[in-house]
Amino acid sequence: MIVTTGNEPKASVWAHAQELAAIFSAPLVSRGELSVEKLRDKYQTNDILIVTAKGARLERRGQQAFFFHPNTASFRIKRLERGDNDTMLSVCQISPGDKVLDATMGLAADAIVFAYATGETGQVVGIESEPMIARLVRDGLTHWDTGSPALIEAMRRVQVEQADHLDKLQALPDNSFDVVYFDPMFQQAVFESHGISTLRQLANDKVLTEETIAQARRVATRRVVLKEGTTGTLHEQLGFTPYRKREHQVIYSYMEALEGSER
């Protein structure tokens, strides 16, 4: 992989590119007038990370470009600012100051909404198993500067960790988070926009297991919550209780945390 910029980058963009080149241990090369394909041929690589004033995007041969975008978090936070409800927050029973573990972070749209709702006194940790996704999403959460102040502040509060979610859960002590949240997006595409389809090509499609859920119930003090598309069956297979079913969107379901005697 190589890292480059657009033509004639500003100093701030070049500094951002230098930062990402160091993170990925990849060479930073001057773009000049070369096209993406000519850069691939010149440096014999399939992957090019292009940094511009709008952020970083991964150009991988044969795939759509992958880049960070807050997606649904933007309009969901706007609705919350107007006083509307958010189903995800309702099923998780979120209050300011809560600690949430988003065990399947992806592009972090849900994690951003959690960070808005839990506020400055809360904590939201997003787990992503794939290093490429984790690094680019962490970078996006740090550098994205378009949108409302509430959106930007929430993005900055999300903590990203690159790990397998089961390994992470097994390493955590009992009662570490109020809520553990899963969105195994591979059951059904709910929102196919702004890099989601490319995310599916890059991401880990590991299926949730009973062991994972058992660990999540140990780690949570309140609930384990699962989000699926309307054709998803994991909640039935794993014994979750449906919260509410909305056609053409998502099913949220939940399982209460283990009681003290069950741990």
Q: How does strand 123-128 pair with strand 158-162?
A: parallel
Q: Are 111 and 83 in contact (CB under 8 A)?
A: no
Q: Of the given ranges (17-31, 48-62, 214-228, 246-260), which has the lowest mean pLDDT? A: 246-260
Per residue in 36-64, pLDDT (tens digit) is 999 999 999 999 999 998 899 999 988 88
- DSSP 3-state assignment of 203? coil
Residue 187: its pLDDT value, please? Answer: 40
- The answer on pLDDT for 66 being more than 70 is yes
Q: Which two tokens stand for residue 256?
A: 């209460």
| Alpha helix positions (H), the chain | 11-24, 36-43, 73-81, 87-92, 109-118, 131-143, 149-157, 165-171, 196-202, 210-219, 234-238
Q: Are 6 and 39 in contact (CB under 8 A)?
A: no
Residue 198: its pLDDT value, please? Answer: 52
Q: Which CATH superfamily is domain 72-256 in?
A: Vaccinia Virus protein VP39 (3.40.50.150)
HSE of 236, CA atoms in CB hemisphere, 13 A: 5
Residue 201: its pLDDT value, please? Answer: 52
CA–CA separation, 85 and 103 (whole Å): 23
Q: Which two tokens stand for residue 8?
A: 């004639």
CA–CA separation, 117 and 114 (whole Å): 5
Which of 220, 122, 208 is CA-nearest to residue 164? 208
CA–CA separation, 162 and 218 (whole Å): 21
Residue 248: its pLDDT value, please? Answer: 53
CA–CA separation, 213 and 255 (whole Å): 9
Residue 258: its pLDDT value, please? Answer: 83
Q: Where in the chain is the domain with CATH 3.40.50.150?
A: 72-256
- DSSP 3-state assignment of 224? strand
Q: Are 30 and 6 in contact (CB under 8 A)?
A: no
- What band does 191 get if pLDDT is binned at 50, 70 and 90? very low
Backbone CA torsion sign across 144, 145, 151, 152: positive
CA 32 to mean position of chain CA atoms: 33
